């Protein structure tokens, strides 16, 4: 190892860069791609005591593993860092200077709106190839067709196939970072060869969710094929690298394929979404202790997001998953942003979103608290849709006049009081998630939920 490295604290996550076959009894063998958690440093700083995913512990060599970090906040990850958008022919030529054969970029065509142009530096001058878009496919020579720009670039990277040169070096757009490079640097890149896709288990907003096998463990895999949605999906993946809590669905890694496929691999939650779980089990199976436990699980995850200045924006029972051992975990970070940013409200779930978020696009931890109140109502009504019997168009006007849903049948009054506090029209008067957790723990300790 070069120099003395900083000692990694207990709890640090690492990913294996190589296979390690231990020779001594106390060694912990592992395969490339395995995720390991540091327990402590040994007398020799080049060796750590660590634990693997199935709980086995042993000694590992520090230079065989890479510490995992969160993806840097504030950088723009791109699956197409060579794509420069609307720039002119002259701007493209300036960017590809000084000349270097095989240096390339893609821009939107100025002469043919809707088409693209591949600009390649070759023996001192720049060639511009029009990329024709027809029948949802892309082509330069109208012989070979591609689904998206990433496939096209990949093809001409491996073979010139009629161009003046093969594509050798992308001219990266200023301010962007290639997603694959950043996930590798921070220790989140997994290898597609080590993942087996078994069956489709659900549909997400961006694509199918599959059950997979990674190194012998069941995992859930969200797969995206389309470049535009994949780009939006990167934001979710980078948020998930920064979040770590036992009540948040844990991301295991990301696979970025050359041809533009993107996969997020997360822990597998065997019992599916909380809303389906509540509906299918019902009152006869789930007692008050169980409902309160789910409420606390979600509240603890949200208290962690609150402490780390993240706003979820889409908290609802459909976005909470239940594990094999009945632990509820918050998932779906597609809308999660660092606090204070605004967003387009076109796709927001009206019945779960706080009035000020719908009206002024003001999202905060306090708007998440409103949604948590709705989620509590979902839990105690065993998965009913909120605001029953009120037409969707009437929900917001009534809520803004102060209307609050009645308590679900059988819901303890003390829990209903917590819901109502979450639905205060003034966000500053809503409790924090820390206060909510303390209230729910008091209800649990005093057995007031029975």
Annotation-wise, does 222 bind a ligand?
Answer: yes
Contacts of 148 (CB under 8 A, 6+ apart): 138, 226, 227, 260
Contacts of 149 (CB under 8 A, 6+ apart): 80, 83, 106, 116, 131, 138, 227, 260
11 bridge partner residues: none
What's the Cα-to-Cα distance from 111 to each of 51, 82, 128, 153, rounded to whole Å? 59, 20, 12, 21
Task: Give CA–CA dist 337/405, Å, rounded.
Answer: 29
Candidates 34, 297, 314, 332; catalytic one: 314
Q: What are phi and psi of 353, to 5 degrees?
A: -100, 135
Is 314 a known active-site residue? Answer: yes
Task: Give CA–CA dist 198/185, Å, rounded.
Answer: 29
3-state secondary structure 236-248: HHHHHCCCCCCCE
Task: Give CA–CA dist 317/274, Å, rounded.
Answer: 5
Antiparallel, parallel or unpaired: β 337-338 and 328-330: unpaired
- Which residues line the annotated binding site for ATP? 222
Q: Which residues are annotated as a binding site?
A: 222
- Positions annotated as catalytic residues are 314
């Amino acid at each position: 190892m070069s120099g003395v490295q900083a000692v990694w604290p207990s709890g640090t996550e690492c990913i294996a860069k190589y296979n390690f076959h231990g020779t001594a009894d106390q060694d912990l063998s592992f395969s490339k791609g395995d995720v390991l958690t540091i327990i402590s440093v040994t007398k020799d700083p080049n060796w750590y005591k660590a634990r693997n995913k199935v709980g086995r512990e042993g000694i590992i060599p520090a230079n065989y593993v890479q510490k995992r970090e969160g993806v840097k906040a504030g950088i723009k990850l791109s699956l197409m860092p060579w794509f420069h958008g609307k720039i002119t022919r002259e701007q493209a030529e300036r960017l590809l200077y000084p000349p270097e054969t095989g240096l390339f970029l893609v821009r939107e065509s100025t002469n043919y709106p809707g088409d693209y142009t591949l600009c390649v530096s070759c023996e001192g001058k720049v060639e511009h190839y029009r990329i024709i878009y027809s029948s949802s496919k892309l082509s330069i020579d109208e012989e070979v067709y591609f689904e998206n720009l990433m496939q096209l670039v990949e093809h001409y990277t491996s073979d010139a196939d009629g161009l003046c040169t093969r594509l050798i070096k992308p001219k990266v757009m200023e301010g962007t970072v290639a997603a694959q490079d950043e996930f590798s640097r921070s220790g989140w890149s997994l290898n597609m060869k080590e993942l087996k896709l078994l069956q489709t288990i659900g549909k997400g907003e961006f694509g199918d969710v599959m059950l997979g096998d990674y190194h012998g463990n069941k995992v859930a895999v969200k797969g995206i094929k389309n470049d535009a949605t994949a780009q939006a999906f990167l934001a979710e993946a980078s948020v998930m690298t920064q979040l770590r809590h036992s009540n948040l669905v844990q991301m295991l890694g990301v696979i970025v394929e050359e041809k533009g496929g993107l996969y997020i691999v997360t822990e597998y939650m065997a019992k599916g979404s909380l809303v389906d779980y509540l509906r299918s089990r019902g009152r006869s199976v789930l007692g008050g202790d169980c409902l309160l436990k789910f409420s606390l699980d979600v509240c603890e995850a949200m208290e962690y997001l609150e402490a780390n200045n993240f706003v979820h924006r889409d908290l609802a029972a459909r976005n909470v998953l239940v594990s094999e051992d009945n632990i509820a975990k918050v998932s779906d970070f597609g809308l999660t942003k660092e606090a204070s940013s605004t967003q387009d409200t076109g796709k927001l779930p009206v019945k779960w979103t706080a009035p000020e978020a719908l009206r002024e696009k003001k999202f905060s931890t306090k708007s998440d608290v409103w949604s948590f109140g709705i989620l509590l109502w979902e839990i105690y009504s065993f998965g009913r849709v909120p605001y029953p019997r009120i037409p969707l168009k009437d929900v917001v006007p009534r809520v803004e006049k102060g209307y609050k849903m009645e308590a679900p049948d059988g819901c303890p009054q003390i829990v209903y009081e917590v819901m109502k506090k979450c639905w205060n029209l003034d966000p500053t008067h809503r409790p924090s998630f820390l206060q909510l957790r303390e209230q729910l723990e008091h209800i649990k300790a005093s057995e007031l939920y029975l």
